[in-house]
């Protein structure tokens, strides 16, 4: 086992503990002075203390954001916003190793993953939206009224509150702050309390890039306190959330205080579908990765694997073989494929679902029990890839999001059966289809009720391709021009032209 050494800049950042929030262009302590400890899920070691905010800190952040909107940030020319955002992206790219290490230390994701994906995607998200400020424009409207000229303007919605989860902080964070800032809004970002370090460092880089005071504020602390304060604060014009459907319901209720605009990316129970004519040399490792990347702690995890009967046994055997080969360990171990579960609470949730699955009559083929030293480090909550077969469609593990390294494998006969069962969920975030018959792939994709469908691949994203869900997976979209639309208001202006 080769453990990577910690970057000196990362050590210096952690040594600055207690780590401060960012409000009004400054690094500040919480009003209460309270802190909480963030630990390394790979081994349970203390990483740092972080200031813990509450309603008073949200009030400060809202005031700072409103001041920014009324001041230099609100008056800034589009070209100047573009320059700042490009500098921001450059700094994220320059400091990518530091950001990758902070994320891996904080949420347990393997370092090769955060290096190759998370930190690079974060920079690319900002680069993409850095080009938008000078390209957000309205239209002229040919109304059927004589001597009247009508045009539209897109204007920032105002103060935007963002709430992101712990599984992909850098990606979710930049995915949301980038279009909001590009459109000229002021942002208050609340990262998950168990994974705030990379986001706090990201905020420092934003200040270094030249974001004016109050344009980007980061408030850390418990989700129940800060999420409640953000979503019910009358000074916030829009809330955007990635989280559970239960959280989304509460946000909707809280938002009625001033009819906030909402974008919600919520729960998922993604169907991943292998047809009998699929290239199994590609589909089986693709399905394994879809189910278990980041130890299954993914919004789009392909946790319901449907396999057509002629290839069912082959696929099950292939999944088991890959599960047995997977290296599970410390996030900084260069050989690690799957890291730990993020914390004890999430571990207990996942193992509770596993026990429920066993009690429901499902057949546990692999995994299901906590790994212990010496195979894994002391102090971490490690679960191997867990595979169920013979799972009833009505079982709890077939319907509820587990958010851990658990996949259910189902067999099916016909295309019609597949579509019916794949859509038998309250969610509709993502899906996958594996087949060499592209006509069939397009036909099935058109009938799957999900916001994104991957064909012969899985888990790809781009900042110019929209992402979001159907049904109780939420509404609105991240990425693309739809993200710009979601953080702007449209104003129609009528002008008589008669002499």
List, by residue number, the catalytic residues.
265, 299
Contacts 24+ apart (CB under 8 A), 361-366: 361/390, 361/392, 361/395, 362/388, 362/389, 362/390, 362/391, 362/392, 362/395, 362/397, 362/408, 363/388, 363/389, 363/390, 363/391, 364/388, 365/316, 365/320, 365/389, 366/320, 366/323, 366/324
Residue 75 Rama label (left phi>0; alpha psi -120 to 50; beta): alpha
Give, in degrees to the nearest 5, the angle at Cα 169 between 166 and 175.
135
How many Å is the maximal CA-CA distance in the chain?
87
Position of tokens 């939206």?
129
User: Which H/E stretch holds residue 459?
Assistant: none
* Token reading at 399: 């319907």
Pairing of strands 386-389, 363-366: antiparallel
Nearest to 99 by CA among 117, 85, 84: 117
Nearest to 249 by CA among 234, 270, 232, 266: 266
Q: How far apart are CA 11 and CA 14, in angstroms?
A: 5
* Token reading at 345: 């609470």
Give, in degrees to the nearest 5, the angle at Cα 13 between 44 and 379.
5
CB 303 within 8 A of CB 396: no
Distances (CA, A) of 438 to 30, 443, 445, 452, 461: 55, 8, 10, 17, 21
CB 450 within 8 A of CB 236: no
Nearest to 156 by CA among 393, 496, 489: 489
CB 106 within 8 A of CB 194: yes
Angle 245-255/223-232 helices, nearest 10 degrees? 40
For 396, other C-beta atoms within 10 Å of its C-beta total: 14
Angle 96-107/78-94 helices, nearest 10 degrees? 70
Q: How far apart are CA 208 and CA 183, in angstroms?
A: 20
Pairing of strands 488-496, 148-156: antiparallel
Report how far apart the first and last C-alpha atoms of the chain are (Å, whole number). 82
């Amino acid at each position: 086992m080769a453990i990577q050494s910690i970057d000196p800049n990362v050590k210096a950042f952690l040594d600055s503990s207690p780590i401060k929030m960012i409000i009004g262009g400054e690094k500040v302590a919480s009003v209460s002075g309270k802190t909480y400890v963030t630990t390394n899920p790979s081994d349970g070691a203390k990483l740092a203390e972080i200031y813990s905010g509450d309603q008073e800190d949200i009030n400060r952040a809202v005031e700072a954001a409103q001041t920014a909107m009324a001041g230099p940030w609100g008056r800034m020319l589009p070209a100047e916003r573009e320059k700042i955002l490009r500098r921001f992206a450059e700094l994220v790219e320059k400091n990518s190793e530091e950001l990758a290490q902070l994320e891996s230390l904080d949420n347990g994701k393997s370092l090769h993953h955060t290096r190759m994906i998370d930190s690079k995607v974060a920079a690319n998200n900002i680069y993409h939206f850095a080009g938008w400020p000078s390209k957000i424009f309205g239209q002229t409207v040919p109304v059927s009224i004589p001597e009247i000229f009508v045009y539209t303007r897109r204007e920032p919605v105002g103060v935007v509150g963002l709430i992101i989860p712990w599984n992909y902080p850098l990606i979710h964070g930049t995915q949301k702050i980038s279009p909001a800032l590009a459109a000229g809004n002021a942002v208050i970002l609340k990262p998950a309390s168990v994974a705030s370090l990379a986001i706090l460092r990201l905020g420092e880089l934003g200040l270094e890039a030249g974001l004016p005071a109050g344009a980007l504020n980061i408030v850390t602390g418990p989700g129940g306190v800060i999420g409640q304060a953000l979503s019910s604060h009358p000074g916030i014009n829009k809330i955007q959330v990635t989280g559970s459907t239960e959280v989304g319901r509460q946000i909707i209720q809280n938002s009625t205080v001033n009819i906030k605009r909402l974008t919600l990316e919520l729960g998922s129970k993604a169907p991943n579908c292998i047809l009998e004519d699929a290239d199994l040399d590609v589909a089986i490792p693709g399905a394994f990765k879809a189910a278990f990347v980041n130890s299954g702690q993914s919004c789009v995890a392909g946790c319901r694997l449907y396999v057509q009967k002629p290839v069912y046994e082959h696929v099950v055997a292939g999944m088991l073989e890959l599960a047995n080969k997977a290296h599970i360990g410390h996030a900084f171990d260069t050989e690690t494929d799957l890291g730990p579960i993020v914390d004890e609470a999430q571990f207990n949730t996942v193992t509770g679902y596993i026990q429920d699955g066993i009690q429901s009559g499902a057949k546990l083929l692999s995994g299901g029990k906590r790994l212990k030293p010496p195979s894994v480090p002391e102090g971490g909550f490690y679960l191997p890839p867990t595979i169920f077969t013979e799972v009833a469609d009505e079982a709890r593990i077939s319907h509820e999001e587990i958010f851990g390294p658990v996949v259910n494998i189902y067999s099916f006969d016909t295309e019609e059966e597949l579509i019916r069962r794949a859509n038998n969920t309250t969610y509709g975030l993502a899906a996958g289809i594996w087949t060499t018959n592209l006509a069939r792939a397009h036909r099935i994709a058109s009938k799957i009720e999900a916001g994104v469908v991957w064909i012969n691949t899985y888990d790809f994203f781009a900042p110019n391709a929209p992402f979001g869900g159907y049904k109780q997976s939420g509404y609105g979209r991240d990425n693309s021009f739809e993200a710009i639309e979601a953080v702007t208001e449209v104003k129609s202006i009528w002008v008589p032209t008669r002499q």
